[in-house]
Structure 1
Amino acid sequence: MPALSGHPTTPTPIDRRRWAQYLVDERAEAAVYEQLARRRSGEERAILLSLAEAEGRHESHWLQLLGGEPEKLPSASIRTRLLGWMAGRFGSVFVLALAQNAEARSPYDGEPAATAAMRADEKIHHEVVRGLAAKGRRRLSGTFRAAVFGANDGLVSNFALVLGIGAAGVSPHIVLLTGIAGLLAGALSMGAGEFVSVRSQRELLESTEPSGFADAGLVDLDIDANELALVYRARGMDEAAALERARSVIEDAHGGSLPVRARHGEAHEVVGGAWRAALSSFLFFASGAIIPVLPWLLGLSGIAAIVVALVLVGIALMLTGATVGLLSGGSPLRRGLRQLGIGFGAAAVTYLLGLLFGVSTA
């Protein structure tokens, strides 16, 4: 084992308690990676098992410092236990995103009893988990973008709408009708807009991919003077490489083989499906837009309805922001507060405008 530096020859009780905490956390993290590996196959499974093995090496380090298994061990940290609970039930990108955040906060940077190799391991683990999580993020990105954007837009726009109308002094019935109308109009608009956006993007990608339009004429091209090389030059090859590629394709065509064309599957995966994105956008906008209307649906009015709406929308904004932060590998609290500030800022503007242009309730 590498020589340790900076820690006392005779550890204090505080040192031993800290090392015991490291020990149980390393065991729990290894168990998380093993649970995730059971839900994976192939290369991802092998990588996760290698991470668990590395955590096992760290566990051995603390066992050696403690002189064997302590009689009494502390509980694993709440963060690690939460990871273990989620890994056993979900095994999804959310767990990997949480694990990425956990690996980014290594406790060993300021720990004199940890080796330099252990500190380096933790940094590498962060990048490894980041790479594994990136695959799941790519699969989610198209639909997830539409869902988060739809829910947040529904929350903010309808909250601002009902606050502005409510501040104008109209009856609760009018506020409720306005909120429902805003929900339906916004959800339909978001769903239609998302469908057009995603479908257009997919069509644009498809138009840039190689096609088989000219395949039938390949056998008639002159192998020494042909136009096929221009196709490859137009795709970015230099002249020599384009000529070589064209000659190879024509020779294969004379032999009865047509070129195999790669599809931009990853790009299409990131964009997502048009109908799926549209449905997600519609449903999530509606689910967000209904929240500000709930107090009026429950029969509240005036300041009481506005206060309840503020609380409900504030919770929802924090949750959507935290979800984005979690999946992006950022701070859930920071992203949640950002969403809260943006949403309440927009609502405050419309509320002030409603007060400014208020009507009489008489």
Structure 2
Amino acid sequence: MTLMSASPTPSTRPEPTSAQVRRWRRYLADEQAEGAVYRYLAARRDGEEREILLGLADAERRHEQHWRDLLGDRAGKPQKGALRTRLLGFLARTFGSVFVLALAQQAEQRSGYGADEDATDAMAADERVHGEVVRALATRGRERMSGTFRAAVFGANDGLVSNLALVIGIGATGVSAGTVLFTGIAGLLAGALSMGAGEYVSVRSQRELLEASTPDPDAHHVIPDLDVDTNELALVYRARGMSAQEAAEHAAGVIARVAAGHGMPDRAAQAYEEIGNGWPAAISSFCFFASGALVPILPYIFGLYGLPAVAVAAALVGLALLGTGAVVGVLSGAPPLRRALRQLGIGYGAAAVTYLLGLAFGTNVM
């Protein structure tokens, strides 16, 4: 029978090369920096999320010890981690937001332990699992801010693209700078009002649909008077999609709960809270669209006209589109640069079409 050889201990391990020592020191510094990120994030949270983040920090500390054991006396003075990890630590210490969790998720996914023979299989597996843990925490944050984020990004992006397209399309026809400016202002107001009204109708429609589908809040008062042997309540749950056995068991549990004086949970109130109110949603959508639509007309407000105004407007909108695209990329866990360039391409593509149409149907005089 062949015996498997044990992993070499520090005393029997071959003398490391200088390249290995440098790599181990870099790994040690990165693990220290990543552990600090999780501790900073934990300090801004409480309850279960705090415990999870501290657990991740403890895991990074175990990884630190692995590299310390390999380095021994060669560890030297503490080094700084990678620039992106140190930047992540600054953001975690200063803000502690879902953006930091999204960036930490990307950092865990970039771990090179899987291809490094000096890292254990357990460490490589840890890093993969850490990525999933951070992904789950970031998802919680995304869900909490999903409504506001959607309104902010899509409202501002729509304002940027639609008003840039309108302004340079009208400008390409050869009309005066004043006409372009007032057209842009009209586009800002029309679009913002449309966005606000649409958001209000959307939220109100959701609430009305919920009201139509929500059980009568007073119906549970008659539960103590039901005939337990026939149990009409089970028919209610069967009508809602349960099987006969599931409905009977659930109805029996509800009757027992009400008989014990515990009452019924108010799930409708929670659902209404999640949907929100129509007016705040409408106002925020109006403001986000207007803020984006203002950017393309800024050159005309400050007296520019013709091609210089078009160029400045396109440049300002381009920067804003890169920003919104990068934010989308960070929060979605995707490469920010790729998402930023996608936003830029879509925005410039729409604007180019209207500009060419303006040239085709206008006087061709700027």
**Superposition TM-score, scaled by structure 2 size:** 0.91
CA distance in 1, matches of 2:60, 2:79: 18
Task: Look up the equivalent residue of 2:213 and give its one-letter code.
Answer: T
CA distance in 1, matches of 2:364, 2:344: 31
| Contact kept? 2:325, 2:341, Cα under 8 Å | yes
| Contact kept? 1:28, 1:76, Cα under 8 Å | yes
- Tell me the equivalent position of 2:299: 295
Cα 1:258–1:210 change in 2 (3 A) is farther
Deviations 1:199-251 (A, max 9, x none): 22233234434432422333332222242111111222211221233344445
Deviations 1:174-201 (A, max 9, x none): 1111111111111111111112112222
- Tell me the equivalent position of 1:20: 25
Deviations 1:61-116 (A, max 9, x none): 11111114633444221111111111111111111111111111112222221111
| Contact kept? 1:138, 1:269, Cα under 8 Å | no
Deviates more, 1:208-217 or 1:330-339: 208-217
CA distance in 2, matches of 1:69, 1:91: 34
- Tell me the equivalent position of 1:322: 326
Task: Look up the equivalent residue of 1:92 and give its one-letter code.
Answer: S
Following superposition, the deviation at residue 334 of structure 1 comes to: 1.1
Deviations 1:234-270 (A, max 9, x none): 22221122123334444555x4737413516776666
* Secondary structure in structure 2 of the residue aligned to 1:67: helix
Q: Of 336, 357, 360, which aligns to 1:353?
A: 357
Following superposition, the deviation at residue 317 of structure 1 comes to: 0.5
| Contact kept? 1:163, 1:351, Cα under 8 Å | yes
Task: Look up the equivalent residue of 2:220 and give its one-letter code.
Answer: D
- Tell me the equivalent position of 1:60: 65
CA distance in 1, matches of 2:74, 2:236: 68
* Secondary structure in structure 2 of the residue aligned to 1:324: helix
| Contact kept? 1:141, 1:272, Cα under 8 Å | no
CA distance in 2, matches of 1:360, 1:348: 15
Q: Of 136, 142, 147, which aligns to 2:141?
A: 136
| Contact kept? 1:155, 1:292, Cα under 8 Å | yes
Aligned: 1:9 with 2:14:
yes
CA distance in 1, matches of 2:334, 2:364: 47
Cα 1:325–1:271 change in 2 (3 A) is farther
Cα 1:331–1:208 change in 2 (3 A) is farther
Matches within 5 A, 1:1-362: 3=7, 9-68=14-73, 70-250=75-255, 253=258, 255=259, 257=261, 259-263=263-267, 271-359=275-363
| Contact kept? 2:172, 2:365, Cα under 8 Å | no
Identity of matched residues, %: 62
CA distance in 2, matches of 1:256, 1:107: 57
**Superposition TM-score, scaled by structure 1 size:** 0.92
Report how many residues are paired. 358
Deviates more, 1:235-244 or 1:214-223: 214-223
